[in-house]
Amino acid sequence: MKFKKVHNKGQAQIFANRYLELLTKTHPIVIFGMYLPVIGYMLYYGYTSLQYSLLRIALIYSMAVLAWSLFEYVAHRFIFHWVSENPMARKITYTLHGNHHEYPRDRQRLFMPPVPSVIISSFLLAVFYLLMGSNAFVFFPGFISGYLAYGSIHYAIHAWAPPFKWLKPLWRNHHLHHYKDDALGFGVSSTLWDRVFGTMFHS
Number of domains in the chain: 1
Contact 156, 38 (CB under 8 A): no
Asked if residue 200 belongs to a domain, the reply is: no
Give tens-digit pLDDT for 64-76. Answer: 999 999 999 999 9
Q: Which residues of the chain have pLDDT under 70?
A: 1-4, 203
Asked if residue 55 belongs to a domain, the reply is: yes
Report CA 1 to chain centroid distance, whole Å. Answer: 18
Asked if residue 197 belongs to a domain, the reply is: no
- Residue 3: the pLDDT is 57
Asked if residue 186 belongs to a domain, the reply is: no
Asked if residue 176 belongs to a domain, the reply is: no
- Residue 117: the pLDDT is 96
Task: List the domain range (segments joined by +) for residue 24.
Answer: 18-100+112-161
- Residue 7: the pLDDT is 85
Q: Count of CB atoms within 10 A of residue 65's CB? A: 19
- Residue 9: the pLDDT is 87
> Cα angle vertex 177, ends 172, 180, to 5°?
95
Q: Could you give the CA distance from residue 95 to residue 98 in angstroms, rounded to a whole number?
A: 6
Asked if residue 140 belongs to a domain, the reply is: yes
Asked if residue 129 belongs to a domain, the reply is: yes
